[in-house]
Each structure stands twice: as structure tokens, then as C-alpha cells.
């Protein structure tokens, strides 16, 4: 058997440009975790159901296990490592801590990326829109109650701010 | 806010969870985030059939594949290691991580390929050729029990590996004299924890010859077991990573030993990270799989006089730790009821399926399902209200401590109080009115109730250790000996250290040890750690305070009993101006010996192992099940609606009253209750590790193993009742399993109530639209 061919790609992750050579079968998830070492994006099911690997690619929420790395050539990728900082968490991250919207933390990065994506485009979604968005991510620990509580608290803050403006 | 909470500075407060700060930023460190220099990767070759004689494994082509370093087979492992230890020590049921002479279930690992990348290993897996002779697949335990069935382990002579029957009280007499006797049958299909992180392990031999293992395991006892299995005392099992969910299911013994053997063979670090199919087919992670027959003897007033419970448990291909789940329910065999006589027994049967693992309640959830379904069906058959029947039979608050048949002792509880609170908070009368209205409009609308007991503090007699150090600058380091899967143990340790030593959260560092770190630790199973670790911290902190008190007394020239402690200040009670601060005490302890009491060891390092309360450690249940120190309780009210055309089920309302005594941190405990209900909804309505008649697992992805999403789990209304236990310094009981143990029974109760007008009874989970449709058709043809 011969060694598989590799292709060079360039992509930006959290504002940082990267050049890397990948096999065409390699997923964006593999590339982010193993080649570029962004381990906050988690491996869950590797078939696009659980949402643990959600990242934002060119402004759209993506299952990084279902996207090939070569498809991300030239893309602008945002991972959990690009959301908030040690000293200043994003409002969603802050709310997740306040409501304890997690237990083991494994689904959390994907869940945060889903809500970042939702609330950036639509700061005051309806309850149905919120549940619809969160239902794209599995969580085995929380039963979703505290996740939804956290999200609702951010949405309420957004509404209050919009009311003041 | 209850009186017990306000005594404390930290206990009972919704303290932000320390772990959450790293998790929200993707900074948790899980097994898959670890890498060692020159690390290799392992992938396994799954068996294509359920039952076969294994004639040979040809790895020649795989070994020639790019990047492949080694291929291991079962024969290699027989030479390198002992079999994996199991719950039942049967000499002829021998379990290795790779099949040796037989294939015993579809997906069983037959060979392992070690290569420079996981992709290279997977490429080579496809080149391994397995030669086998197929045998009759054993899928149904009721068939596998029969004398003419094929044998999974021929030398054992039977597929039945557990067959016991225990009788407590005058069971036969009660049945003979009962006003009413009924018999009900139930089916609990396989589901499990199914954490989003699969099991993973890394092994290497370090520069001193020590075999190091990192894994997403929850069991520190792997340290001792690995010494025996890998035939070397030089083992160091690390316990300092985050685990991506477990619920009891992350044990992975087979996976760790296989990875260790591969690292020894390849002389390089090896990582094995299960993919989803490997995890679901062969990860030894499935839960109970039961057929129940329950006979009940009752008086005309509905007082239950005796239960006769028969279980057929489908254990899978090897004993593993599964059989523990058959006996564990005897620690709460009568649930919350005053039932004087019980017979409990049955069969544990080996079949062509992956092994069971004791997960979330270790068999208590199906047991509670059987008990609570029986109470509902008995109420229907006797024409007594379901809630009223339960209230009549509950153990009363003044009867504690209460010994149940089989010898387990319930510490405390208020079951009628919780049930009545739930009925009140749910506005049950209104629900009944809504139901009447809905039924009049032709809707299938049901109200369900169920209560459940949660034994907490598993394996108390095995003890739980903690080491508390106060360094010379006054910072506190608390070291525990196990790693967590989302139970917020770092936060609990910090909270209790702050409570007991008066220090601030920022002053505490929680460390996790490893198997050679000198911390005696048990696994976080059986809702154990609040009880066991919590008490250990309480006791250890007392030792620290005693030492600091001695130093203060010596310095201030008084007797130790003249010192009073106010937060971190140690002062003379009669003369409060004479005092030492925390920092002064810490500095003194590490300072010149002349400033310390004669003979006192320098420094402040205290070790404590709590071995459980006497009431537990001095008793053993006749079934061999563990006695538990504390018993929590919860009561659920559920409203479900079934679509008469599609049989689709919607949960319209979910309310729970939860009583685990004192709640240390409501953020954490609420999460356990909510999460347990979510898990219970999955087991009750969606999740099923179904096998076809050839023994092929039908649910090998999240496309066919359906877990509830936010769209399926309704908003849960949670109310607390607080009945503190006398067996814990803060009055806290275990909390992480109860909601899961009760939810399936409550959901079944609601769905049955919805379809009851059609003559349908619910005796099986998962309760799918297909199950309801089939039951409706059967009821119609019987009518």
C-alpha cells in the first residue's frame, strides 16, 4: 500500500493564520485537534449528531467532523479557544458558569459555539428558536435545564440592553 | 432556606463550580487531549459474527501496511497478562481484551493494530484476516438458559452464571393468606450511560520501568488490579484528567490492559481512543437487560404484604462487573414501602452481547420500575387511587431507622411528605380536571406518579482518603485520590475545606493523585462522594485544627482547650486579645522547633481515611450487596399525551420533589436531578441497544441509538424537601442517581394513564410509538 497523498491548505483559526498539509480524507476536526492543536473542539460521535465538535466557519455553524479539512482551505474558523478570555468570558460562557450549565464539560464547547452562533445572528430568539438551536447538540449530564436557563438569562440581558438603547 | 443551612458559611450556598471556568473555555483536559512523545495509536479488529470458534488471525498483510508497528492477538495477551478480573470468579469464564479461542459477540475485538497514527491503524485493520467457524448465536437469555442451548463458555457447562433465591420473612404464608394475589411481568431493554466521550487510554513504560496508565476511568482500584493483571508491581495509574461523562459506565478495564500490553510490546507510548462504534458494540458499557416477574400479595385495603420478584438478567458475553447489578437492588428491595416479606432471585445469563457495566444506580432503576409499575397496576386492579395506595404503604417518618427485608437499614426519610408536597405543587386536582376535559375531547392524556429510593454512599467500608496540607504561607492543598466525570468534586472539596478551616476559596488548591500517591480512594460510584469524601474532609480538617490549636496554645501559653477558633483566628477564649492569625500559625508550624510544642512534627500535613459509619461497616446483606449509609427519596409527577393516530408521545409537564437531606451546593444537586430525569426520559422512551436475531447490534450510531435532545426534555419543575441524615456531618445524602432511578417509572405511569382507556398497560421500556401501537392493536383484538 502506498502512503496517501497530502494537500497543502491555509486557514485562519481564531485570527491566527495556519498552513498545513493534510490527507484529503482528514476532517476539519482532526486537523484542528491534532495538526493545529486546538483541543477544545471535542470528538463525540464523528457522524454529525452530537455537536461536540461544532465550530464556526466563515460565520456559519459547522460540525467539524462532517467537513473535510481540504474544504476549509482559505476559511476563517472560530473555535472555543477564540471565545472569551481567562479574564473576560463571553456573556454565554459567564451565564454557563452562573447557572452551572454543564457537568462533565465535554459537550460544553460545542454547546457554547451553537449559542454564540445563534445569538450573534439573533440576540433575542424566541423560546422555540432557542430550543431548536440547542436541540442540535447532545448533552448527557444536564438534561438541558441549566443550559436553557443560562441561554435565557443572556437573552433577557440582550432584551434589557435593546430596551435601553 | 432551612435552619440547617444557615449555620454554615459555605454549605448550602449555590457556590459557583470551579471546574466550569475551564470547561466553558474548552480548557478541560480529557484523555484525548493528552499526547506523549513518539506515541503510537491503536485500532481494533471487530468480529463480524456473534458466535464462532476462532480458528486463526492472519496479520501478515496488516503488518506490512505503512506505519504499522505491531499487531496483537488474543494469543499474545494470554502470554503477557492475566485475564481481566470479573465480579463472579468462575474459573471457566475467562475474559481477555481480545478474543482467544472463540468469538462471543458481534463486534468483539479479535486483534489490535498499533501504528503511527489512528488512520494508519484503521487502514491496517481492514487487512487483518479472521478465520472462524460460525456457531448458533445466543441472543435471548430465556433461550440461552435452556439445557439444549449452545454454550458460550463450554467448560463452564451452562450459560447461567448467577442463580440465587433469597427469602426474607414469611413469603409463602403471606401469599397463602392474602386477600389478593397478582402477577405482573416487565421488560427492561438495554440502555446505558453512553457518555459523549468514549473510553480512552494511554500507556507507556517510564524511564524507571514503571507502567504508567492514563485513562478516562473512574476507578482508582485499577491500580491494585493492574498490578495483578499485568504481572508487575511497577504500575502507576494516573488520576488527574477530566472525564467526559461516565454515570458509572467509564470503567474500561479491558481497554486499559490492552493498551498497556500494546505499549509493552511496541516499547513506545500507545493511545487507544475508542471510536463510537467500538464503544457501542464492544465497550462493555451496556446497562441492565431484564425480564421481571413480580408477584404481589395484598390485603383488601391495598396493604402490600409480600413481593416475589424473579429476574432474568442478560449479562452479555462475560461476567465483567455486570452481576453486581442483580444484587445491588436488594439494598432497597422494597423501595419506600413497609413490605414485611420478600423473595428475590433469578438468573444471570451469558449471551452474545457486549458486557454490562454497573451504571447509574447499578440495577436500581429497573428494580424501581418493577416496584412502581406494580404499585400502579395493583392500584388499578384493586380500584384504589395510585397515590393513596402509595401513601398507605409508605414507611412513616417516625419509623426510622428502618430495617427492610434483607437487612438494609434506611437512615431517615419523609416519603409521605415528599409525595404530598409533589401532589400539592403539581396542583393535582387541576391536572385531573384537565385530563377529564382532554379525554372528553378524545385526547389520550395521562398523569403519572412514582417515587423512588436512592441508596447513597456505596462501598462505604472501603473508605475514602484525603490529605490536607497547609503550607508555610497559609495556602491549603487538598489531595484526593480519584478523578471525576462531572460531579464537581473539586468544588465540593474546596467548599468543605473553606467551611471547616475558615479559609477563602482562593486559598485552596485541589489536587488529584495517582496510584502511587498514597491517597486511599474509592470510585465515585453509588452516589458516594458527598457521604464518604465529604466526611473524610470534615474529619481531616478537624486534625488540622487540632494541630493549629496546639501551636496556638503553646505560643499563647495556655492549654489547648482554652483556645477558641473564629474563622482563621485562634485565640484565648478568656482573653480574645491574645490570638494568632492563620498566617502566623502556618509560619510557626514550619518555623523553628523551639516555637512549636515539644515533639510535634514540623509542618501541617494531615491524612485521613473515613471508613463509613458502623451501621454499614459492621453489616453485610445476605445477597452480598453493599449496605449503604443513606437513603434519599424523590417523587415525580408527569403529564404525558399520546397522539391517537401516530402514537407519538409528548411529555407535557414534569415536576419532582427531591429529598437528599442537606444540599451542599444546590447548583450541583439540581443539575444531578435534572440530568437524571433527562437520562430517565432517554431510557423510558428512546434508548435501546437492540440486537437482531443473528446477534448483530442494531444501534451502533447516534442515528439509531436515540438520546433525548432539548426538544424532547420538558421543563422540569424542581422542589426540595430536606430530611437530613444523622449519618453525615452536614446531614447530606447521595444525590446523583435518584432522579434517573425514578423517572422511567413515573413516565411509564403517565403514558399508561394516557392509554388506559384503550385497555393498554405499559410493562416495557423504551415506550416507543411502535410499542404503544402494538399494545393498542393487541388490546383491541383482546377486547
Q: What's the mean pLDDT when you consider all of chain B?
A: 96
CA pair distance B600, B549, nearest whole angstrom: 12
The answer to whether A22 contacts chain B (CB < 8 Å) is no
Q: What is the pLDDT of residues B246-269, one digit of tens each?
A: 999 999 999 999 999 999 999 999
Tell me whether residues A46 and B674 touch, CB distance under 8 A: no
Tell me whether residues B25 and A50 touch, CB distance under 8 A: no
What is the structure's pLDDT at B3? Answer: 31
Tell me whether residues A1 and B65 touch, CB distance under 8 A: yes
Least CB-CB distance to A143: which of B24, B675, B711? B675
Structure-block grid coordinates of residue B718 = 424542581
Pick the closest to residue A104 from B68, B110, B31, B318 (CA basis): B31
Strand-pair category, B508-512 with B764-765: unpaired
B-chain residues near A144 (CB < 8 A): 674, 678, 709-710, 713
Pick the closest to residue B112 from B104, B95, B101, B124 (CA basis): B124
DSSP string, B635-655: EEEEEEEE-TTT--EEEEEEE
Q: Is the pLDDT of residue B4 over 60?
A: no
Q: Is the pLDDT of residue B43 over 80?
A: yes
How far B32 CA sits from the closest chain A CA (Å)? 8
What is the structure's pLDDT at B174? Answer: 98
Q: What is the pLDDT of residues B419-434, one digit of tens each?
A: 999 999 999 999 999 9
Residues B553 and B562: beta-carbon distance below 8 Å: yes
Q: How confident is the model at residue B553 (pLDDT cuts 50, 70, 90)?
A: very high
Q: What is the pLDDT of residues B281-340, one digit of tens each?
A: 999 999 999 999 999 999 999 999 999 999 999 999 999 888 889 999 999 999 999 999
H or E segment at B439?
helix B428-440
The answer to whether A144 contacts chain B (CB < 8 Å) is yes
- Apex B378 CA angle, B376 and B382, nearest 5: 120
Work out the average pLDDT over B572-594.
Answer: 96
H or E segment at B763?
none
Work out the average pLDDT over B210-230.
Answer: 95
Work out the average pLDDT over B530-538.
Answer: 96
Strand-pair category, B575-580 with B569-572: antiparallel
The answer to whether A109 contacts chain B (CB < 8 Å) is yes
CA pair distance B313, B308, nearest whole angstrom: 16
Tell me whether residues A103 and B119 touch, CB distance under 8 A: no
Q: How confident is the model at residue B460 (pLDDT cuts 50, 70, 90)?
A: confident
Tell me whether residues B26 and A89 touch, CB distance under 8 A: no
Q: How confident is the model at residue A2 (pLDDT cuts 50, 70, 90)?
A: low
The answer to whether B711 contacts chain A (CB < 8 Å) is yes
Q: What is the pLDDT of residues B363-400, one digit of tens each?
A: 999 999 999 999 999 999 999 999 999 999 999 999 99
The answer to whether B274 contacts chain A (CB < 8 Å) is no
What is the structure's pLDDT at B103? Answer: 98
How far B49 CA sits from the closest chain A CA (Å)? 24
What is the complex's ipTM, to 2 decimals? 0.98
Tell me whether residues A50 and B19 touch, CB distance under 8 A: no
Q: Is the pLDDT of residue B112 over 90?
A: yes
| Among B17, B19, B23, B687, the residue to mutate for chain A (most A Cβ within 10 A) | B23
CA pair distance B246, B200, nearest whole angstrom: 12
Size of interface A-B (CB pairs under 8 A): 188
What is the structure's pLDDT at B444? Answer: 98
SS3 label, residue B476: strand
Q: Is the pLDDT of residue B6 over 60?
A: no
pTM: 0.97
What is the structure's pLDDT at B322? Answer: 87
Share of chain B above pLDDT 70, in %: 99
Q: How confident is the model at residue A1 (pLDDT cuts 50, 70, 90)?
A: low
Amino acid at each position: 500500500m502506498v502512503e496517501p497523498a497530502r494537500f497543502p491548505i491555509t486557514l485562519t483559526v481564531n485570527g491566527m493564520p495556519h498552513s498545513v498539509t493534510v490527507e484529503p480524507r482528514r476532517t476539519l476536526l482532526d486537523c484542528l485537534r491534532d495538526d493545529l492543536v486546538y483541543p477544545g473542539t471535542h470528538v463525540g460521535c464523528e457522524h454529525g449528531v452530537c455537536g461536540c465538535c461544532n465550530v464556526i466557519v466563515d460565520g456559519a455553524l459547522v460540525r467539524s467532523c462532517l467537513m473535510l479539512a481540504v474544504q476549509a482551505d482559505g476559511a476563517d474558523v472560530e473555535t472555543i479557544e477564540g471565545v472569551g478570555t481567562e479574564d473576560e468570558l463571553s456573556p454565554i460562557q459567564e451565564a454557563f458558569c452562573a447557572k452551572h450549565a454543564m457537568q462533565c464539560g465535554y459537550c460544553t464547547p460545542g454547546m457554547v459555539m451553537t449559542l454564540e452562533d445563534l445569538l450573534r445572528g439573533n440576540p433575542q430568539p424566541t423560546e422555540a428558536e432557542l430550543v431548536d438551536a440547542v436541540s442540535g447538540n447532545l448533552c448527557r449530564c444536564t438534561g438541558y435545564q441549566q443550559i436553557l436557563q443560562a441561554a435565557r438569562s443572556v437573552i433577557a440581558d440582550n432584551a434589557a440592553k435593546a430596551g435601553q438603547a | 432556606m432551612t435552619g440547617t443551612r444557615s449555620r454554615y458559611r459555605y454549605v448550602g450556598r449555590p457556590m459557583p463550580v470551579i471546574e466550569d471556568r475551564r470547561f466553558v473555555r474548552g480548557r478541560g483536559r480529557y484523555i484525548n487531549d493528552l499526547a506523549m512523545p513518539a506515541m503510537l495509536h491503536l485500532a481494533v479488529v471487530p468480529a463480524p459474527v456473534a458466535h464462532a470458534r476462532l480458528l486463526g488471525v492472519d496479520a501478515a498483510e496488516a503488518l506490512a501496511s505503512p506505519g504499522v508497528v505491531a499487531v496483537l492477538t488474543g494469543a499474545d495477551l494470554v502470554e503477557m497478562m492475566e485475564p481481566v478480573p470479573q465480579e463472579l470468579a468462575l474459573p471457566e469464564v475467562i475474559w481477555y481484551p481480545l478474543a482467544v479461542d472463540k468469538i462471543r459477540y458481534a463486534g468483539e475485538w479479535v486483534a489490535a493494530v498499533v501504528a503511527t497514527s489512528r488512520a494508519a491503524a484503521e487502514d491496517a485493520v481492514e487487512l487483518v484476516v479472521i478465520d472462524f467457524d460460525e456457531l448458533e448465536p445466543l441472543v435471548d437469555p430465556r433461550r440461552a438458559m435452556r439445557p439444549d442451548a449452545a454454550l458460550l463458555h463450554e467448560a463452564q457447562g451452562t450459560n447461567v452464571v448467577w442463580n440465587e433465591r433469597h427469602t426474607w420473612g414469611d413469603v409463602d404464608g403471606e401469599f397463602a393468606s392474602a386477600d389478593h394475589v397478582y402477577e405482573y411481568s416487565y421488560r427492561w431493554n438495554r440502555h446505558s450511560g453512553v457518555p459523549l466521550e468514549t473510553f480512552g487510554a494511554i500507556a507507556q513504560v517510564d524511564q524507571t520501568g514503571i507502567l504508567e496508565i492514563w485513562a478516562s476511568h473512574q476507578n482508582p482500584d485499577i491500580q491494585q488490579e493492574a498490578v495483578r493483571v499485568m504481572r508487575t508491581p511497577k504500575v502507576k495509574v494516573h488520576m488527574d484528567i477530566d472525564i467526559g461523562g461516565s454515570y458509572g459506565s467509564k470503567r474500561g478495564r479491558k481497554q486499559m490492559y490492552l493498551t498497556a500490553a500494546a505499549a509493552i510490546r511496541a516499547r513506545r507510548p500507545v493511545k487507544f481512543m475508542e471510536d463510537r462504534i467500538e464503544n457501542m458494540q464492544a465497550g462493555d458499557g451496556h446497562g441492565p437487560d431484564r425480564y421481571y416477574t413480580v408477584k404481589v400479595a395484598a390485603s383488601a385495603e391495598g396493604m402490600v404484604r409480600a413481593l416475589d420478584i424473579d429476574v432474568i438478567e442478560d449479562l452479555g458475553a462475560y461476567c465483567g462487573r455486570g452481576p453486581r447489578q442483580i444484587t445491588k437492588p436488594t439494598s432497597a428491595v422494597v423501595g419506600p414501602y413497609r413490605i414485611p416479606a420478600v423473595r428475590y432471585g433469578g438468573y444471570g445469563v451469558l449471551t452474545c452481547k457486549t458486557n454490562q457495566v454497573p451504571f447509574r444506580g447499578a440495577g436500581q432503576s429497573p428494580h424501581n420500575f418493577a416496584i412502581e409499575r406494580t404499585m400502579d397496576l395493583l392500584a388499578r386492579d384493586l380500584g384504589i387511587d395510585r397515590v393513596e395506595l402509595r401513601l398507605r404503604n409508605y414507611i412513616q417518618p417516625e419509623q426510622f431507622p428502618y430495617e427492610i427485608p434483607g437487612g438494609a437499614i434506611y437512615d431517615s426519610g419523609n416519603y409521605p411528605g415528599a409525595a404530598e408536597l409533589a401532589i400539592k405543587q403539581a396542583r393535582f386536582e387541576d391536572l385531573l380536571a384537565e385530563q377529564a376535559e382532554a379525554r372528553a375531547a378524545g385526547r389520550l392524556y395521562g398523569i403519572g406518579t412514582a417515587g423512588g429510593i436512592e441508596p447513597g454512599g456505596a462501598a462505604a467500608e472501603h473508605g475514602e482518603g484525603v490529605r490536607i496540607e497547609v503550607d508555610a504561607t497559609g495556602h491549603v492543598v487538598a489531595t484526593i485520590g480519584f478523578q471525576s466525570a462531572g460531579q464537581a468534586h473539586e468544588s465540593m472539596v474546596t467548599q468543605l475545606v473553606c467551611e471547616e478551616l475558615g479559609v477563602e476559596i482562593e486559598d485552596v488548591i485541589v489536587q488529584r493523585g495517582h496510584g502511587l500517591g498514597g491517597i486511599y480512594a474509592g470510585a465515585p460510584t453509588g452516589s458516594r462522594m458527598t457521604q464518604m469524601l465529604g466526611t473524610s474532609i470534615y474529619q481531616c480538617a478537624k486534625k488540622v485544627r487540632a494541630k493549629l490549636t496546639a501551636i496556638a496554645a503553646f505560643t499563647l501559653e495556655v492549654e489547648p482547650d482554652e483556645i477558641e477558633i473564629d474563622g482563621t483566628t485562634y485565640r484565648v477564649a478568656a482573653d480574645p486579645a491574645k490570638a494568632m492569625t492563620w498566617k502566623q500559625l502556618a509560619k510557626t508550624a514550619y518555623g523553628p522547633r523551639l516555637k512549636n510544642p515539644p515533639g510535634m512534627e514540623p509542618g501541617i500535613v494531615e491524612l485521613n481515611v473515613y471508613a463509613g459509619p458502623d451501621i454499614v461497616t459492621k453489616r453485610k446483606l445476605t445477597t452480598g450487596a453493599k449496605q449503604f449509609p443513606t437513603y434519599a427519596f424523590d417523587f415525580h409527577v408527569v403529564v404525558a399525551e399520546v397522539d391517537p393516530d401516530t402514537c407519538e408521545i409528548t411529555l407535557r409537564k414534569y415536576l419532582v420533589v427531591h429529598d437528599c437531606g442537606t444540599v451542599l451546593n444546590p447548583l450541583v444537586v439540581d443539575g444531578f436531578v435534572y440530568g437524571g430525569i433527562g437520562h430517565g426520559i432517554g431510557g423510558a422512551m428512546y434508548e435501546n441497544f437492540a440486537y437482531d436475531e443473528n446477534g448483530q447490534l442494531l444501534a451502533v450510531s447516534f442515528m439509531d441509538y436515540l438520546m433525548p435532545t432539548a426538544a424532547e426534555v420538558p421543563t422540569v419543575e424542581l422542589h426540595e424537601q430536606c430530611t437530613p441524615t444523622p449519618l453525615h456531618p452536614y446531614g447530606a445524602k447521595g444525590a446523583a442517581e435518584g432522579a434517573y432511578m425514578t423517572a422511567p417509572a413515573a413516565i411509564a405511569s403517565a403514558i399508561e394513564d394516557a392509554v388506559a382507556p384503550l385497555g393498554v398497560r405499559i410493562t416495557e421500556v423504551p415506550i416507543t410509538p411502535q410499542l404503544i401501537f402494538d399494545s393498542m392493536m393487541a388490546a383491541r383484538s383482546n377486547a
